[in-house]
Amino acid sequence: MRLTRFTTLATITSIAALTSLALSGCSTSTSASGTGATSGSAGTPIAIVASTDVYGDIAAQIGGDKVSVTSIIDDPSKDPHEYAADARNQLSLSKAAIVIENGAGYDDFVDTMLQSANNPTAKVLNAADISGYDQKPADGEFNEHLWYDFPTVQKVVDSLAATLGALDAADAPTFTANADAYKQKLTALEATEADMKVSFAGRGAAITEPVPLYMLQAIGLVDKTPGAFSTAIENGTDVAPDVLASTLALFSDKQVSVLAYNEQTSGAQTEAVLNAATAAKIAVVPVTETLPSGSSYIGWMTDNLAALKTALSQ
């Protein structure tokens, strides 16, 4: 699902007003470039704001102690789709030198808040644009959960290192070295996917939402879920009875080997699917859209792959 569903224009407007008051206490005038983004000069860390802690964690690994990172969505106990903006986030965006967003409609609130933050000089890294994927495919369905796609994350890391280096030339070699080391870890994850594909390609899989779909496809699994089901769940609308029946039949008829279940969003229809999988003794792998507490991005994705391997090996 996208993070924008519960964010209202009124909320953004009121926050902009609050932030304006907060900033007025720090400065008596506003320059054409806004409140002034932190750029890393004179040893000051480069200020980075990420839409979620997924991109925030990646930024921290590439920037090291040369950056300060703020993640807007940073609590795994909160449903990211019910995000409500606050003045603290708006203030952080007003001071950001770099903003990292997922794009493709997933976190549009970042662009809205950034426009109100009076910070036109911020460098915006949009993962969907960086991915190079067609965001308007022929079937009309673009999977915006790009952090489950390691080739895209590789490109985001390169883009981030280059942007940091442009802002802080003296530390550019450090950013490049950090990026290269990080990409080796991503390459190792891709190798794990390739190994799993040898064993599991062609097996059926079911999803409640397309959150982990890039990973499932890289392993060679075939998504058997009716498109109308996952689309309805992602958009927060009711699933038609015949569509739900077809989805439940995936488990009773043993058409799938695993259910990848987004445990951050649930309802009667997703619970029905979970119960059907359990009753049919189909392995269930819970997935999330944000970092589990205490996890890093690499550790999280390593755990996801391990859980899928265990499930598919049953």
At 201-243, the pLDDT tens digits run 999 999 999 999 999 999 999 999 999 999 898 888 899 999 9
> Which DSSP symbol is given to 59?
H
- pLDDT score, position 22: 37
Same domain, 69 and 179: yes
Core vs surface per residue 243-261: b (16+ CB within 10 A) or e? bbebbbebbeeeebbbbbb
Residue type, 293: S
Dist. CA 52–CA 128, nearest whole Å: 14
pLDDT over 90 (residue 13): no
Same domain? 245 vs 174: no
Q: Are residues 179 and 212 in the same domain?
A: no
Q: Cα–chain-centroid distance for residue 39?
A: 25
Out of 13-22, 35-44, 101-110, 131-140, pick the least confident.
13-22
Q: How confident is the model at residue 86 (pLDDT cuts 50, 70, 90)?
A: confident
Please state the length of the chain: 314
Listed residue (225, 208, 205) closest to 216, CA to CA: 205
Can you give the pLDDT at residue 62?
A: 98
Q: Are 60 and 67 in contact (CB under 8 A)?
A: yes
Is residue 192 in some structural domain? Answer: no
Last residue of a domain, one of 122, 149, 184: 184
- Note the pLDDT of residue 31: 28
Q: What is the mean pLDDT of the chain?
A: 87
The residue behind tokens 């549009």 is 108
Model confidence band, residue 26 (pLDDT cutoffs 50, 70, 90): very low
- C-alpha 228/C-alpha 218 separation (Å) is 22
Q: Is residue 293 part of a domain?
A: yes
Kindly state whether residue 103 falls inside one of the protein's structural domains.
yes
Give the distance, in angstroms, between the CA of residue 75 and the centroid of all CA atoms in the same chain: 13
Query: Is residue 152 located within the same domain as residue 276?
Result: no
Domain that holds residue 259: 201-312
Residue where a domain terminates, one of 143, 159, 184: 184
Let me know whether 112 and 220 are in one domain: no
Q: CATH no. for residue 288?
A: 3.40.50.1980
pTM for the full model? 0.87
The answer to whether residues 138 and 216 belong to one domain is no
Q: How confident is the model at residue 61 (pLDDT cuts 50, 70, 90)?
A: very high
84 and 149 share one domain: yes
The predicted-structure confidence for 113-139, as pLDDT tens digits, reads as follows: 999 999 999 999 999 999 999 999 887
- Whether 123 and 210 map to the same domain: the answer is no
The identity of residue 143, as a single letter, is N
Position 143 in a domain:
yes
DSSP secondary structure letter of residue 34: B
pLDDT of amino acid 40:
59
